[in-house]
Structure 1
Amino acid sequence: MSLEALHAKIADLDAEIGQQRELLQKLERAKSRLQCQINSVQDPLARLPLELSSQIFLRTLDVAPQPGAAHGPMLLLNICNSWSEIALAEPALWANIRITFGRTQNSQEILSIWLERARNKPLGVWLDGLLDLDLVAIVWRHAQQLKHLHLMTEGSYDDSDNGVQLWNPGSAPGQLPCLETLTIHGSLHERRCTKIFGPHILELLRLSPILSKCYFERCAPDSFSTHQSLVHRGLRELSIDDAGDLPLDCCAPFFASLSLPSLEFLFLPSIQIPYEATVSFLQRSTPPLRKLNMGEARVLLQCPTLFTALERLELYPSWLSAEKFLIAMDQSLSMLPNLAVWKMHFSHYSARQFFGLCWETLSNVLVARRTQIRVLDIQTPKIPAVQMNPAPDAVSTILHALVSDGMQINIDNFNRSVTSRYCSEFP
């Protein structure tokens, strides 16, 4: 057989192989379609309407799903074709994500694809670890959809003395019309807190007109410019907690820059803010505060008219501050006229001083407001009975009667013989 004939024979065989491959692919596709039909018959989930099966999948997710083949919704992509189609067709499955810097491989690619699959759904994003601002920039590109943003960071790769920055220069997010909750959690190290670049916090508030809840834990805004100011009419809850190792005046510029006329809940249990800065902020905002958690009671004593709507109060006072507060409450029923839940935390020394001097005044306040105050909870260190100044019998009788009438009174960690007659469990 000539060389030309051999080449021709090979060409014929190649053509026949190609035809057989096409036929095999056609048969495999036909088999796959039949298998899908069998799965649809056997799989009850596949027989459900898409909306119902999507809701079932949604109920299997964590609040903040992590990327990974072992976690939903990515796990659903690996079960079968029908489940994968349902998962990809439901954007709500991809509306929340948690990325841990340094642990999630290909973070930028995963985050981009994930958020694109969410289409136009409101987004919740959790970012943990040392901030990668290039990754954060992907989140800012979806600023229009962002509903909840949670940052847990000990810093960023671009830390400065002014605090952790939340975006690179020139790459600030656009408007955040859907953002409702902003949470920033700082250092996890004991006795160390994280400073956040204050102008970025203020800009986030400015860009988020419906933001209602703003929480800072183990961190605080810092390095504000004196000319910055903002009136935010949507913020209802503001919390700055566990930032005790930061300087006294660290948060003062933040409060000097803000007016919050809709604020209902102010949570400042462990940070120290200059008294003048706190008073100025409250007088400028005149908020309808309903819940207040703070260290001392001095502001309450000096500006009582700012707290007429207050329903829940939690204090961490010195015994002297607490004594002055009790005396003011005893002298005027117009002070905190709507207070219903009242909680105080005392140190070992303050507790002994307070209960050595204030039993009678405390009982007078409770009797005068017996139809107003529903709960009194006083948290104290455990104090040996020999160091206690127990309630006089007359006071004990009064407290017992108040509990019988329905008031819940809890004085924690005291010698049981002092409190057992009138101590009620705090909810």
Structure 2
Amino acid sequence: MYLSPDVPVVVKKYAHQLRFFTLCIQSPEELEKTIAPFPSLKNLRVINGGEDLDLYLWDALDALRAAPALVDCELNCIHEDDSTNPPPLTHFSLRHLRLGRRPQLPEAELQREFVTSEQILKLLTLPALDTLFISDLDISDTEFTSFITRSTPPLQSLHLSMHREFLEEGGSEFPWLRLVPGLRDLTLDFGHFFRDVLHFLETMGTDSDFVPNLRNVTIRSWAFNEDDFETIIEMLSQRTQLQSFRVFHPHDDPDFTPDDDALATLRQLVENGMQIQVGLWS
């Protein structure tokens, strides 16, 4: 069911009063028709209701531009359109941004060019950003580092699921993490990339200046095995300020089970106050 023609009329009539706005669209044009000056808007969610639907990049930026007081925003499946060249935007109030792909996409759909982060982050500067969630990081390491450098945000929480291209282009050196020393909560999904997750753990264990204020770390990877617990324990022994450490893999793998010595060390860390979880992700 498409948006009733009355909805944009009503939204625009009361736009100056709106503080929370969730819009489920069935066609890209519906967002454009609904955008109005939203001087009081604090929370915006744009949900893709169609089976084959992307947001236009220009409309996504216009929605942000129309809401200068916006604090919390969720956008999904932003489509890159080479025929347009939207002007960049600095948004001084936005603190929480979630960029995600449409949930439960069939495997064939994953091959399409869904741009959930790259183009919009190349055009955004977000100096107040506190929380960033990107479900599918289709952005180069250089561009993401540029976004962080340009924004210099007081980032506290970061969730990234990384593409092969991102890691191969230098993302596995994590220059962008070195630009957010105040980060406290970090979730990284490494997929199948074994060397990169080990490099991250080794860097955590040997470089005390690398995200020194981290308190909660979650890692997802297909590539763990029993030998990796040595690296994990070495890291945790150097990062005793961590409040929680969670590591997840997608299947019940008997090769990813700590031996008795590793298990004893992990239990001691738990007794000392650290929350540790190892298991399957859902």
TM-score (norm 1): 0.57
Matches within 5 A, 1:335-346: 335-346=210-221
Tell me if structure 2 keeps the 8 A contact 1:261–1:288.
Answer: yes
Deviations 1:268-319 (A, max 9, x none): 1234223332222111111111010101372672233212111111111132
Q: What's 1:358 paired with?
A: 228
> 1:357 offset after TM fit, Å?
4.0
Tell me if structure 1 keeps the 8 A contact 2:118–2:138.
Answer: no
Matches within 5 A, 1:289-328: 289-296=155-162, 298=171, 301-317=174-190, 318-328=193-203
TM-score (norm 2): 0.84
Tell me if structure 2 keeps the 8 A contact 1:214–1:237.
Answer: yes
RMSD of equivalent CA atoms? 2.5
Residue 281 of structure 2 is aligned to residue 406 of structure 1: no
> 1:130 offset after TM fit, Å?
1.9
Residue 43 of structure 2 is aligned to residue 181 of structure 1: yes
Deviations 1:296-351 (A, max 9, x none): 3726722332121111111111322211111111120111111111111223xx2x
> 1:223 offset after TM fit, Å?
3.0
The structure having more radius of gyration, on CA atoms, is 1
Counterpart residue identity of residue 331, structure 1? T
Q: Distance in 2 between matches of 1:382 and 1:229?
A: 42
Q: What's 2:260 paired with?
A: 393
Q: From the superposition, tell whether residues 413 and 213 of structure 1 become closer, same or farther in structure 2 (CA, over 3 Å).
A: closer
What percentage of residue pairs aligned between the two structures are identical?
24
If asked which structure has higher relative contact order (CA below 8 Å, sep 6+), I would say 2
SS in 2 for 1:240: strand
Q: From the superposition, tell whether residues 310 and 411 of structure 1 become closer, same or farther in structure 2 (CA, over 3 Å).
A: same
SS in 2 for 1:411: strand
Deviations 1:199-250 (A, max 9, x none): 2221221121110000124x32543733511100100000012347351656
SS in 2 for 1:310: coil
Tell me if structure 1 keeps the 8 A contact 2:226–2:259.
Answer: no
Tell me if structure 1 keeps the 8 A contact 2:41–2:70.
Answer: yes
Q: From the superposition, tell whether residues 220 and 379 of structure 1 become closer, same or farther in structure 2 (CA, over 3 Å).
A: same
Q: What's 2:124 paired with?
A: 258
> 1:393 offset after TM fit, Å?
3.4
> 1:140 offset after TM fit, Å?
1.3
Q: What's 1:331 paired with?
A: 206
> How many residue pairs were aligned?
264
Residue 246 of structure 2 is aligned to residue 377 of structure 1: yes
Q: Distance in 1 between matches of 2:239 and 2:259?
A: 20
SS in 1 for 2:276: strand
The structure with the largest helix share of the pair is 1
Segments of 5+ residues of structure 2 without an aligned counterpart are: none
Q: Once superposed, which parts of structure 1, at least 4 consecutive aligned residues long, lie more than 6 Å away?
A: none
